Amino acid sequence: MLLQRILTALVLAPLAILIILLPDTGLFGAIVALAFLAAWWEWARLGGLKNPVGRIALLAAAAGGFVLLWLAQGSAWTPWLLAAGVAWWLVACLWLRHFAFAAAPTRENVALKLIAGAFVIFPAWVALTSIHARIPHGHWWTLLALVIVWASDIGAYASGRAFGKRKLAPQVSPGKTWAGAYGAMVAGVLVAETGGWLLGVRGTAMLGLALLAAITVAVSIVGDLLESLMKRHAQVKDSGSIFPGHGGLMDRLDSVFAALPIFAAGLLLLGI
* Spatial distance between the Cα atoms of 174 and 244, rounded to a whole number of angstroms: 22
pLDDT tens digit sequence for 214-236: 999 999 999 999 999 999 999 99
* pLDDT band (50, 70, 90) for residue 243: low
* Spatial distance between the Cα atoms of 40 and 62, rounded to a whole number of angstroms: 8
pLDDT tens digit sequence for 131-163: 999 999 999 999 999 999 999 999 999 999 999
HSE of 85, CA atoms in CB hemisphere, 13 A? 30
pLDDT tens digit sequence for 80-115: 999 999 999 999 999 999 999 999 989 999 999 999
- Range name among 52-66, 182-196, 241-255 with the lowest pLDDT average: 241-255
Q: Return the DSSP state at 225.
A: H
What percent of the chain is predicted at pLDDT more than 70?
Answer: 96
Q: What is the mean pLDDT of residues 181-186?
A: 97
Q: Give how far Cα 2 sits from Cα of 6, 9, 244, Å.
A: 6, 11, 10
Residue 266's domain spans which residues? 2-270
Nearest to residue 137, comparing CAs of 66, 209, 197?
197
Provide the number of structural domains found in the chain: 1
* Spatial distance between the Cα atoms of 271 and 268, rounded to a whole number of angstroms: 5
- Identity (one letter) of the amino acid at 245? G
pLDDT of 77 > 60? The answer is: yes
